[in-house]
Structure 1
Amino acid sequence: MPVDAPRPSAWRLLLIFSRIGLTSFGGGLSGWLLREFVQDRNWLSEEEFLNGLALSQALPGVNVKNMAIWIGFKLAGPAGAIAGFMGIIVPPAFIIVLMAVAFSKLTDYPLTSIALAGAAAAAIGLSASMAITAARRVPRRAFPLLCLAATFLAVGIFHWPLLWVVLGAGALSVAVEYRRLSSGEGI
């Protein structure tokens, strides 16, 4: 966080995460978080955000929930982590229950399918934006590209179990990166 930027309160984080959770859904939430905390508010650097995103994706559970907890903790400590979790989960969960009741009444109308298709397209666009931002920052080295290709082949072509491929490739990647960093290369 920039030195001169005021630290947000847990209450402010709760309101921000609630707004994000209530106004977006699907895979595009990471894009909203990037825009909100890095681009608009300058509370996190792009590198910090991408490191947090990588950690959130590596941990079990929902990526966006993990990211909200990480951002909240990074910006406002334990109270911020609780605010991030509560803001991204509770208000949307309440709305989902209400929408499920209403949606069961609207499934007969064609406009419902059109609206959902439009929302899906927006979520795909936000996910693509996030992927492009992350791809621009990834160093172009042979080993990460080799891991990418090997993972694609193992899961996409050979249909090996995702869990074992990710665990194996992840462990190998961490070991190689640890060795590279501890040798002083690329620090």
Structure 2
Amino acid sequence: MPLKPASAAPHPTAWRLFLIFSRIGLTSFGGGLSGWLLREFVQDRHWISEEEFLNGLSLAQALPGVNVKNMAIWIGYRLAGARGAVAGFSGIIVPPAIFIVLLGILFASLARYPLSNIALAGAAAAAIGLSASMAIVAARRVPRRLIPLLIMVSTFVMVGLLHWPLVWVVLAEAAVSIAVEYRRLKSE
């Protein structure tokens, strides 16, 4: 069941969501889309709260498939029901896919020029900055309790430094997180 947006801003229609997701998909190069989604729906439009967004991001990352596609479906459904979910999915996938095919054709013809490599390096740097920004926002929201901080640090160490398989780390950390939170809520 879709929830009301977090502010008094006009209720988004499925068409408007399609256009927003299309713009985001067409203007974000090299990743970092979660940062764009945060800015668009939480910071600029105030349609969902930061906490809701981070909960949705956690869910999107836990589900199979591309995280941004999952987020687009989740945000779309949250704001406009089933039509919003279809609009979010279609907007984030279809126009960028068409553009990527056209861009691939163009880059194939320009690959021999050094400027094309410089442009790709710049896009990659921007994507890293957006991803780092999103990580900082998420880290700020981690409850300042010992167990969540330990889980966050251990996940970074296991995946980032030890290069353990992401799937197994996430499954193990999720089980620990759920058990700890269940126990904490039960004791309240």
Q: Deviations over 1:143-178 (max 9, x none)?
A: 122223333444455544332222112111111112
The secondary structure found in structure 1 opposite 2:48 is coil
* Residues 11/155 of structure 1: CA separation in 2 closer, same or farther (3 Å cut): closer
Contact 2:7/2:46 (8 A) holds in 1: no
Residue of structure 1 aligned with 2:180, choices 172, 176, 181: 176
Q: Which runs of 5+ in 1 are unaligned?
A: none
Residue of structure 1 aligned with 2:114, choices 92, 110, 113: 110
* Residues 135/160 of structure 1: CA separation in 2 closer, same or farther (3 Å cut): closer
| C-alpha separation in 2, matches of 1:181 and 1:121 | 41
| C-alpha separation in 1, matches of 2:28 and 2:93 | 12
1:68 match: 72
| C-alpha separation in 1, matches of 2:34 and 2:160 | 24
1:78 match: 82
| C-alpha separation in 2, matches of 1:97 and 1:159 | 33
Identity of aligned residues (%): 74
2:91 match: 87
- Is residue 116 of structure 2 the alignment partner of residue 121 of structure 1? no
Residue of structure 2 aligned with 1:54, choices 46, 49, 58: 58
Tell me how large the CA RMSD over aligned residues is.
1.6
Residue pairs, 1:126-141, within 5 angstroms: 126-141=130-145
Residue of structure 1 aligned with 2:45, choices 8, 33, 41: 41
| C-alpha separation in 1, matches of 2:160 and 2:168 | 14
| C-alpha separation in 2, matches of 1:157 and 1:35 | 29
Q: Deviations over 1:7-54 (max 9, x none)?
A: 110000001000100011333111111111111111111111111111
| C-alpha separation in 2, matches of 1:156 and 1:16 | 33
The secondary structure found in structure 2 opposite 1:80 is helix
* Residues 129/152 of structure 1: CA separation in 2 closer, same or farther (3 Å cut): closer
| C-alpha separation in 2, matches of 1:64 and 1:151 | 21
Residue correspondences, number:
184
**Which amino acid in the other structure matches residue 89 of structure 1?**
I
TM-score by length of 1: 0.92
The secondary structure found in structure 2 opposite 1:26 is coil
Q: Which runs of 5+ in 2 are unaligned?
A: none
* Residues 136/149 of structure 1: CA separation in 2 closer, same or farther (3 Å cut): closer
Contact 2:148/2:177 (8 A) holds in 1: yes
Q: Deviations over 1:107-159 (max 9, x none)?
A: 10000011111111111111111111111111111112222333344445554
